[in-house]
Amino acid sequence: MNKTLRNIMLGATVAGGMALAVQPAQAEYNLTLCGASPGGLWSLLGTGVDNAVKESFPGSTITYQTSGGGFANIVQLDQKKCDLAIIHDAEVKAALSGKEPFKSPVDSMRTLAVMYTWAPLQLIMSKDYAEKNGVKSIEDIAAKKLPINILLNRRGNVVSDIGASLLTAAGASEENIKSWGGSVTYAASKEQGELMRDRRADAILNSLFVGHRSISQLASAIDLALIPVGKETAEKVMKEWTIGAFTIPSDAYAWAPNATDTVTVSAQLFVRADADPKMVTDLTAALLDNADKVAGVHKAMSALDTKLMASATAAPYHPAAEAVYKAKGLR
């Protein structure tokens, strides 16, 4: 082989090697997602997100980190202690407004995707109490100045705050209820059921999935009534918390034959405003391309689709995520 030909071939080999060297490698992500307690639905959502990202970017890992829930996750995300976080829309509203438990506004979170919107506030009342007092809507509590003993979720939980807002908007604030001889008790969901079964409370106002096991268990112990929220009351609370309307279908419970209007909270996936745009683009695309990986983690998630993922209103989408949704015609 002559010298010239040998040099040409050597140059081609080097050039080819350089071309191979500059080809971008498949991205692998090792990220932390702040959720809530271990074993709940949010931990399953963490698994779903992990599976979706792995499908598009093999070798990636989304590690679920237990947390105190949405309020804590806002702080964790803001302090860069996690890369992703599940947060309720109402909790984001509190952060943006500087409401309790925040001392000043927090505006560092940006939406990546909506996870679910079907955790309605359900006013579940003892049927005996509802019939005896003629309660056909939440507003009747105030109209009749009833000495009701009602249960809200434990303090520090945004659902408790929304429940209190619903009562206030209906004219039945905690102060009013107490002045009528009733009470408002703050208790965890399990304790609520026990208090109702023991007839130590007349009603529960809590965010629960339709058909939740705790409701079925309570209905097997005592007769229940599902009480609707009036339009004006709902609109006040929806505006206050940037949450949505919800109608519990007429076939949800055998003991509640009518469709029942109320409000609902939404759980959403967030990143920081300063998150790497390439990462956000890749994660958004992975969630949209593999939405079934998230929807399949539990039957309660079966309604999740790409249109729902693109429907957030509580906080702006990260610009990179927004671009992906727009490219797919979803926003």
Q: Is residue 189 part of a domain?
A: no
Q: Is residue 133 part of a domain?
A: no
Q: Please state, rounded to an integer, the average pLDDT across all residues of the chain.
A: 93
Between CA 76 and CA 83, with CA 79 as vertex, the angle to 5 degrees is 65
Q: Is residue 141 part of a domain?
A: no
Q: Is residue 293 part of a domain?
A: yes
Q: Which single residue is written with the structure tokens 């339709």?
A: 210
pLDDT confidence tier of residue 204, bands split at 50, 70 and 90? very high
Q: What is the DSSP string of 53-82?
A: HHHHSTT-EEEEE--S-HHHHHHHHHTTS-
pTM of the model: 0.88
Reduced to 3 states (helix: H, G, I; strand: E, B; else coil), residue 206 is strand
Q: Is the pLDDT of residue 72 over 60?
A: yes
pLDDT confidence tier of residue 27, bands split at 50, 70 and 90? confident
Q: Is the pLDDT of residue 18 over 50?
A: no
How many domains does the structure of the chain reveal? 1
What CATH number is associated with residue 251? 3.40.190.10
Domain, as residue range, for 77: 29-125+209-331
Q: Is the pLDDT of residue 67 over 70?
A: yes
Determine the average pLDDT of the residues in 176-198: 96
- What is the Cα gyration radius of the chain? 25
What per-residue confidence (pLDDT) applies to 190?
A: 86
What per-residue confidence (pLDDT) applies to 19?
A: 39
Determine the average pLDDT of the residues in 72-79: 97
Determine the average pLDDT of the residues in 138-163: 97
Q: Is residue 273 part of a domain?
A: yes
Determine the average pLDDT of the residues in 244-267: 97
Q: Is residue 251 part of a domain?
A: yes
What per-residue confidence (pLDDT) applies to 25?
A: 54
Q: Is the pLDDT of residue 12 over 70?
A: no
CA dihedral 203, 144, 174, 260 (to 10 degrees): 50
Q: Is residue 73 part of a domain?
A: yes
Q: Is residue 157 part of a domain?
A: no
Higher pLDDT, 27 or 77: 77
User: Over pLDDT 90: what percentage of the chain?
Assistant: 89
